Amino acid sequence: MKRLTKEDLKGWKTKREDDTSEQLASVKEIIRRVRAEGDTAVRTYTETFDGASLDDYRVTSEEMSDAYESISQKYIDVIQEAAINIRRFHEKQLPTSWFDTQENGTMLGQKYTSLDRAGVYVPGGTAAYPSSVMMNIIPAQVAGVKRIVMVTPPGPDGQVPIGVLATAQILGVTEIYKVGGAQAIAALAYGTETVPKVDKITGPGNIFVALAKKEVFGDVDIDMIAGPSEIAVLCDDSARAGEVAADLLSQAEHDERSSSICITTSERIAGEVEEEVEQQLKGLPRREIAEKSIHTYGGIIVTATMEKAVEAVNELAPEHLEVLTENPYEQLGAIRHAGAIFLGPYSSEPVGDYFAGPNHVLPTSGTARFSSPLNVHDFMKKSSVISYSEAAWKENVDKIASFARLEDLEGHARAIEKRKERLDD
């Protein structure tokens, strides 16, 4: 692993910028055609890109129950237990509408409502993780979204992965379409004869999905564009190098472009982690991926103090952060930017991937500086509520009208003054 300095972290994210103009051009064309031709375009693209020829591309309830029947009880049990944990955590996020009354009779408030319709993208092939289904669907369900639509690309045989279908069945999702790529995003954003137009699209995907989501943003809402997975492990002399290395590799095995960084105050740990990583790499089934990832985007930073180590963490703003220090709660307050923070030796990152309850859809590429894990608020929105009393109006009408005139908006002034006619009645 490379030795890095805090300075190196500043450019860390930008090292992975690719030219995507070619893919963008085809994404735009796909969106244009799906908007214009609806299902016809969706079917054509599914044939071209997925090699599947589908007349009816909605998953049937038979396919769902067949998938459920075909997986083991052990699998069902762990999904169900994880779902309970995830639901419990997300229920804590539920906001409440509030109002603030004033003695003069005015009420000001904020009303929460759920979205009417949400669309969840689930990738196909090797990235078809049942956990992705849970992490996207459950927050939408907890928020109270009325209609949840899932899309996922079919294989050439027209089938979608059994694990994904079974998980959807367990969660009670009933509306799934076999469509992927930019054509799925376009269908969700603008609607077709078959797929309903939704209000928000979430879920990970390849570069075409990511570009399409950015393209339709504004017409519908989207979650953040996800980059490769990342982990940072903040540790002092009390950590065990073997655990640090294993946790770094657990992210490195995701993707050749995943990033795994160890930030430590201990030169000894740094050396041991380097050795452990090489050692543990040897027996890893996804060794090739992990090796490439950890040698290109991995690194170790040794700082003089814990304060400087935390500064480095904040500079990086990692997706996952483990704190393996003597007393991790002591660092929690100074950590400003991280998607999920795992405290102490038993909070190995995979604990959060499936099971503990918090969402695994997290801000990547330093976007933890300004964005959050996927959560119930992502499937709700607020409306301001203003109920001005007669007394409040009387007290303020002249001030408001004069402010409007200062901004040269006479119509605004007249609107509020129009109520003066009531005084004459």
Residues in region 301-330 near a second copy by CB under 8 A: 328-329
Determine, following the binding rule CB under 8 A, whether residue 51 of this chain makes contact with a second copy: no
Instruction: Say if residue 73 carries a ligand binding annotation.
Output: no
For the four alpha carbons of 360, 366, 367 and 370, in that order, the dihedral sign comes to positive
Instruction: Say if residue 121 carries a ligand binding annotation.
Output: yes
- Burial pattern 41-61, b for ≥16 Cβ within 10 A else e, equals bbbbbbeebbebebeebebee
Determine, following the binding rule CB under 8 A, whether residue 347 of this chain makes contact with a second copy: yes
CA 53 to chain centroid, in Å, comes to 31
Q: Dihedral angle at the C-alpha atoms of 193, 196, 202, 203, nearest 10 degrees?
A: -50
Count, residues in the chain: 425
Instruction: Say if residue 353 carries a ligand binding annotation.
Output: yes
Determine, following the binding rule CB under 8 A, whether residue 69 of this chain makes contact with a second copy: no
Scanning 50-58, 75-83, 147-155, 173-181 for contacts with a second copy by CB under 8 A, the matching segment is 75-83
Distance CA 175, CA 351 (A): 29
Scanning 39-47, 150-158, 177-185, 216-224 for contacts with a second copy by CB under 8 A, the matching segment is 216-224
Of 123, 180, 298, 373, the residue at the interface with a second copy (CB under 8 A) is 373
Residue 355 C-beta: closest distance to a second copy, Å? 5
Q: Which of 230, 276, 315, 319 is catalytic?
A: 319
Which residues in 124-183 contact a second copy (CB under 8 A)?
A: 126, 129-131, 163
Q: Is 295 a catalytic residue?
A: no
Determine, following the binding rule CB under 8 A, whether residue 413 of this chain makes contact with a second copy: yes
CB 190 within 8 A of CB 212: no
Residue 275 C-beta: closest distance to a second copy, Å? 15
72 contact partners, CB below 8 Å, separation of at least 6? none
In this complex, which beta carbon is closest to a second copy, that of residue 9 or of residue 404?
404
Which residues in 231-250 contact a second copy (CB under 8 A)?
A: 240, 242-243, 246-247, 249-250
Please report, in angstroms and rounded to a whole number, the separation of the first and last CA atoms in the chain.
Answer: 82
Alpha-helix runs per DSSP H in 328-424: 329-332, 350-354, 390-406, 410-417, 421-424
Smallest CA-to-CA distance from 52 within 158, 180, 125 is with 158
Determine, following the binding rule CB under 8 A, whether residue 36 of this chain makes contact with a second copy: no
Scanning 46-54, 266-274, 302-310, 390-398 for contacts with a second copy by CB under 8 A, the matching segment is 390-398
In this complex, which beta carbon is closest to a second copy, that of residue 57 or of residue 276?
276
Distance CA 228, CA 296 (A): 13
Q: Is 320 a catalytic residue?
A: yes
Of 41, 133, 199, 316, the residue at the interface with a second copy (CB under 8 A) is 199
100: enclosing H helix or E strand? strand 98-101
Scanning 59-67, 112-120, 262-270, 305-313 for contacts with a second copy by CB under 8 A, the matching segment is 112-120
Determine, following the binding rule CB under 8 A, whether residue 290 of this chain makes contact with a second copy: yes
Distance CA 129, CA 126 (A): 8
β-partners of residue 387 are 107
Of 200, 202, 239, 277, the residue at the interface with a second copy (CB under 8 A) is 200
Q: Supply the residues annotated as catalytic.
A: 319-320
User: Binding site for NAD(+): what residues are annotated?
Assistant: 121, 183, 206
